[in-house]
Amino acid sequence: MYLGIDLGTSGVKAILMDEDQRILAEGSSRPLSVDRPHRGWSEQHPEIWWDAVCEALDHLAHRHPREMAAVRGIGLSGQMYGATLLDDADRPIRPAILWNDTRSTAECRQLEEREPDLRAIAGRRATPGVTAPKLIWVQRHEPENFARIRTVLLPKDYIRLKLTGEKVSDMADSSGTLWMDVTRRAWSDRLLAATDLDRSQMPRLVEGTEPSGLLTPGLADRWGMVNRPAVAGGGGDNACGACGSGIIEPGAGTVSLGTSGVLFVATNEARPSRDHAIETLCHAVPGIWHQMSVILSATSCLNWLAGLLGRPAAELVRDLGDTPRPAGSLLFLPFLDGCWSPQDDAEIRGAFVGLDHGTDARALTHAVLQGVAFALTDAAHGFHDNGARFERLLGIGGGSRSPLWMSMVANALDCVIDIPEASELGAAFGAARLGMIAATNAPPRDVLRRPKIARTIEPDPALAGSYRDAFAQWRGLYAPVRNASMALHGHA
């Protein structure tokens, strides 16, 4: 048996997978809360992560003792970028600053001034979501906490420390910190020095498929495991999700419609993105990299509209039917949490443009779905500018269950979308697969297989013109909506 653990922002999910990659059991924690003491802040205390992991695994051990006893390998996945600061006793110094925290905009500019070659080394621009600028913020605003830092870990690596006693991270997750030379797959002394840190404060690096340590004897006993399982390097949630979907060959990619929207394409080399806020990261598989663009609000926009209208989100989508249709004239900018990529913009907020007396729930829903598709299209243009090419993508996430939404994405991207048969291709599954590789030394490509495809959605040439024109109008709204957003928040 192999165990996959995914530490999300809103909770922990764990799955048990057998040697035939069948998921036999799942466990989860109660929802995790996020603290937002100021506008743009987002924090969690690391101890609630560990409590949630224990809750999920205790549940599995109670309900499935035979399967837990047979666990040989454990894989870890988790929310990326969170700055988890530990003192010399490995205790958290302060709550972790999370991936969707935007307080460090000024520190991003300072970081790029300190190290002019940052984009070439780290593979991307400095943006508030990633880890390194957060440390400059702590140094500036909480110098007493900065002085106490002995180790900086990413969220899932704090869980690894609790599981194994080892301070280790994988290259995929760590390449998002802005402290790694992404091409060399190693820590960069220059980038660390730009935040007044050094290698002694960083964890040891391994590939996502490699063992990083063994589960401690006490925890193996707690969960009834006969042997001490190997804990794989694992990866951030998006890299693990790609492992769950078998997206490990150059040119293969996914478009994910979950709470956030993600465009993910594997590459055979590091391709630094200098002009767009597109991430170039190591993959969880040795010798492979990937590019990634994250739209902060995807299905969360639909859920917001559903709450506003007092109707279930699924019902709103169902009312539109499944038949592909031309792009609509009511436009929606889905930046309810700001824009992370391909623009790094913490100030812009969402907007409807084109409302009239005839606008009803169906029109609003269509505009929301279309707006998310256009945000992904904007990201795709950034990929193309950086040399990435893709002709088909795997559609995953909850939004992929809507044929209409997927047709919008296919038409907007001018790209074939394959929808897999299996519903469970997420980060916990990918983590379990990495745990299997670490425990058995199996070749990654033998384990990380592509799923069977249930249906394929192709762009419709008859609709191409309407999507192209509507996207151009949508893109033209970005600057005025941003200006209005800043004015409304007193930043004009």
CATH number of the domain at 9, please: 3.30.420.40
Chain segment 433-449, per-residue pLDDT in tens:
999 999 999 999 999 99
- Which residues lie across from 353 on neighbouring strands? 331
Per-residue confidence band for 129, with pLDDT thresholds at 50, 70 and 90: confident
In a domain, 193, yes or no: yes
Chain segment 16-75, per-residue pLDDT in tens:
999 999 999 999 999 999 999 998 899 999 999 999 999 999 999 999 999 999 999 999
In a domain, 267, yes or no: yes
239-253: average pLDDT = 93
Residue 215 shares a structural domain with residue 283: no
In a domain, 306, yes or no: yes
Residue 106 shares a structural domain with residue 253: no
Residue 292 shares a structural domain with residue 380: yes
Residue 152 shares a structural domain with residue 22: yes
Residue 107 shares a structural domain with residue 223: yes
CA 465 to CA 103: how far, in whole Å? 40
- Which residues lie across from 241 on neighbouring strands? none
Among 181, 201, 233, the domain boundary falls at: 233
In a domain, 238, yes or no: no
Give the amino acid at 127: T
Q: Are 242 and 283 in contact, with CB atoms under 8 Å apart?
A: yes
Res 423: pLDDT: 57
Res 80: pLDDT: 94
Residue 208 shares a structural domain with residue 271: no
CA 116 to CA 131: how far, in whole Å? 18
Res 223: pLDDT: 98
Report percent pLDDT > 70 for the chain: 98
The residue segments making up the domain with residue 372 are: 245-425+450-488
Residue 49 shares a structural domain with residue 115: yes
Among 207, 233, 259, the domain boundary falls at: 233
Chain segment 137-193, per-residue pLDDT in tens:
999 999 999 999 999 999 999 999 999 999 999 999 999 999 999 999 999 999 999
Structural domains of the chain, count: 2
Residue 215 shares a structural domain with residue 302: no
Among 205, 233, 261, the domain boundary falls at: 233
Res 491: pLDDT: 59
Residue 16 shares a structural domain with residue 86: yes
Residue 210 shares a structural domain with residue 314: no
Res 107: pLDDT: 97
Q: Is residue 216 pLDDT above 90, yes or no?
A: yes
Q: Is residue 492 pLDDT above 60, yes or no?
A: no
Catalytic residues: 237
Res 59: pLDDT: 96
Chain segment 255-298, per-residue pLDDT in tens:
988 888 889 999 988 877 666 678 889 999 999 999 988 888 88
CA 256 to CA 444: how far, in whole Å? 23
Q: Is residue 301 pLDDT above 80, yes or no?
A: yes
Residue 257 shares a structural domain with residue 367: yes
Q: Is residue 460 pLDDT above 70, yes or no?
A: yes
Per-residue confidence band for 424, with pLDDT thresholds at 50, 70 and 90: low
Residue 267 shares a structural domain with residue 221: no
In a domain, 361, yes or no: yes
In a domain, 478, yes or no: yes
